[in-house]
Chains A and B, each alone.
Chain A
């Protein structure tokens, strides 16, 4: 039995991201069952849960790649409508390019593997309307630098890069326009341990310097522990527990969270 938590009183800012009552069905399967989330500006929210818990479906909705069966999504930004799910395809694409960055586990989803790395980053800027070559090149380079990508490789296509470097190109593309919201879908899964630590460190540094609001999905609790201020535990399309990271890891309340934390090496 836990106490009901009150609404924020010290923090007076509105949440940057609000999802309420989001349901997504695939045929007879309910992938998300009335999920509600709030993320405050500058906060890092970690989402954990087993495969099929709905965590990646939720992230895809936040990136407006998919539409739910019910629910409302809003970002507290100037000139954005109350429900982003109601946007048409063109506005959705523009909003994502300007305000949301994403890094996928699988770089093929986020990058054109045969184009140059700098071209991949510049594509983001092109969508946003930038046409001057020098600006495209300069901003692309800045973003690659901030992602700690070796600039001497910026003209190599991702297909010729290592896994860790491909993730850095994705990250550069994601942050090129200084988005309000950065979504990370298993960003370091499949990388070897030292590369994973270096990529996480880059992410942590970026978050510290720019105060980007981040939602990170991972089944790796170590990654979430390092990155997240707050954790949300999902199971069967529902949020079973949420709390400050150290609380969820040290004093998990829900039977499933307890199982999950105990299973950590």
Chain B
């Protein structure tokens, strides 16, 4: 198996300066994910499942440890990589599927979905974007409308179509099935299975892991860290 990500002794604290307080999130957390492997994150609410995904995405910073991401031209530590490098990885190698669509005024649903294809230099991306919207069950008469006004479920379908249109090497999934109807959930699971068979490594948080039971290869159970400690600020 080809290794995609090696997390080594990750430590994360949230320092709340105005309260002179430090909330520990992780200490010395280590795990690995291989190509085509699906790792499920488990644990009670607030244990840090989404925090861990955000640390890999680098919208949260890591305090100590390493996140070794294997690339064709060498390994890069996501915990320390330059911001501009992370921006490049987010465009073509690491995907993040969240529950929230960031709609921009006056940008249509089909353009939202086509954008990653345009960024990747793919010519004439609209037919592919429309096919993805169709797969997730977005009605054709909505394709040219701006998703800001869509219902939560419809927005989520646009979000999924966009996030899954290109096969990334590592896919982070933060409760993507929330607010989906049965049809869209089925389409999502089919797309994930397809990506997995193409070798995409996945790390996911699911409220109802039963939905994805047949995709799961391994589980990582996070344990609560409840103690509060004071820091000198």
List residues of A whose CB falls within 8 A of some B CB: 1-11, 40, 43, 197-198, 200-201, 204, 226, 229-230, 242-244, 246-247, 250-251, 253-255, 258-259, 262
Contacts and interface: CB of A to CB of B under 8 A. Distances in A.
A247 B84 contact: no
Contact of B79 (A1, A3, A244): A3
B85 A9 contact: yes
Given A10-B85, A250-B60, 8 more contacts: A11-B88, A40-B84, A230-B83, A244-B87, A246-B59, A251-B59, A251-B60, A259-B18
B82 A255 contact: no
Nearest to B77: A6
A253 B15 contact: yes
Interface of B: 14-18, 54, 58-64, 71, 74, 76-77, 79-89, 104-107, 233
B17 A5 contact: no
A206 to B, nearest CB: 13
Nearest to B11: A1
A251 B14 CA distance: 8
A219 B71 CA distance: 38
B17 to A, nearest CB: 4
A52 to B, nearest CB: 21
Contact of B84 (A2, A3, A8, A226): A8
A246 B55 CA distance: 12
Contacts of A10: 71, 76, 81, 84-85, 88-89
A256 to B, nearest CB: 9
A5 B106 contact: no
Contact of B18 (A3, A198, A244, A258): A258
